[in-house]
A and B are shown apart, each in its own frame.
Chain A
Amino acid sequence: MATAPPLNLRGAPPARPGGRLSWSWLGVLPFFLFVLLFLVIPTLYLLVGSFEDKAGSLTLQNYAHLSEPNLADSYFASIEISLVTAIAGGIFGFLVAYAVILGGLPSFLRTAIMTFSGVASNFAGVPLAFAFTFTLGASGILTPLIEALGVHFNIYSKTALELAYFYFQFPLMILIIAPAIDGLRKDWREAAENMGASSFQYWRHVALPILTPSLLGTVILLFGNAFGAQATAFALSGGSINIVTIAITRQIRGDVANDPGVGYALAMGMVVIMAISIGIYSWLQRRSERWLR
Chain B
Amino acid sequence: MTGGTPLVAQAPKGPDSLAAAPVSRPRRSFGRIWWWAVFAVAVLYFALPLIGTFAFSMRSQPLFSAYAVVTDDPQFAATLLYSFVVAIVTIIVSIVLIVPTAFWVRLRLPRLRPYIEFITLLPFVIPPIILVFGLLRSYSGDPLPLAGSDFGSDVLLVAAYVVLSLPYMYRAVDTGLRAIDVRSLTEASQSLGASWFTILVRVIFPNLRVSILSGAFLTLAIVVGEFTIATFLARPAFGPYIQLLGGNKAYEPAAVSLISFGLTWIAMGLLALIGRQSRQKIQIAGAH
Contacts and interface: CB of A to CB of B under 8 A. Distances in A.
A34 B101 CA distance: 12
A45 B132 CA distance: 12
Main secondary structure of the interface of A (DSSP, over half): helix
Given A282-B121, A293-B5, A167 B134 contact: no
Nearest to A130: B257
Interface in A199-229: 199, 221, 224-225, 227-229
Nearest to B187: A15
Interface in B64-98: 96-98
Given A24-B104, A176-B285, A228-B129, A190 B56 contact: no
A27 B109 contact: yes
A287 to B, nearest CB: 13
Interface string A91-133: 0100110111001110001000111111111111111101110
A117 to B, nearest CB: 8
Contact of B288 (A45, A115, A228): A228
Contacts of A225: 287-288
B48 A142 contact: yes
Contacts, number: 312
A200 B228 CA distance: 46
Among B34, B226, B268, find the residue whose CB has the most chain A CB atoms closer than 10 A: B268
A197 interface: no
A117 B46 CA distance: 9
Interface residues of A, number: 108
Contacts of A39: 119, 122-123, 126, 131, 163
A45 B129 CA distance: 14
A39 B232 CA distance: 17
Contact of B100 (A5, A221, A228): A5
A271 B134 CA distance: 12
Chain B contact-residue range equals 35 or more
Contact of A103 (B14, B31, B160, B256): B31
B35 A170 contact: no
A116 B43 CA distance: 9
A87 interface: no
Contacts of A187: 11
Nearest to A42: B134
A27 B100 contact: yes
B232 to A, nearest CB: 6
A140 B121 CA distance: 39
A172 B8 contact: no
B125 interface: yes
Contacts of B45: 166-167, 170
B135 interface: yes
B225 A127 contact: yes
Contacts of B8: 179, 182-183, 185, 292-293
B208 interface: no
B222 to A, nearest CB: 7
A229 B288 contact: yes
B216 to A, nearest CB: 14
B46 A116 contact: yes
A42 B14 contact: no
Among A7, A34, A127, A224, find the residue whose CB has the most chain B CB atoms closer than 10 A: A127
Interface string A16-46: 0000100011011011001101110111011
A38 B162 contact: yes
B8 to A, nearest CB: 5
A140 B52 CA distance: 7
Contact of B121 (A170, A182, A278): A278
Nearest to B94: A34
B265 A119 contact: yes
A21 B28 CA distance: 61
A121 B285 contact: yes
Given A122-B286, A134-B52, A166-B45, A245 B135 contact: no
Contacts of B181: none
A10 B190 CA distance: 12
Contacts of A252: 129, 132-133, 136, 232
B177 interface: no
Contacts of B130: 43, 46, 228, 248, 267, 270-271
B271 interface: yes
B49 A224 contact: no
A43 B17 contact: no
Contact of B46 (A10, A120, A141, A182): A120
Nearest to A98: B35
Contacts of B160: 38
B148 interface: no
A275 B35 contact: no
Contacts of A221: 1, 287
B137 A132 contact: no
Contact of A230 (B105, B121, B129, B246): B129
B145 interface: no
B151 interface: no
Nearest to B259: A127
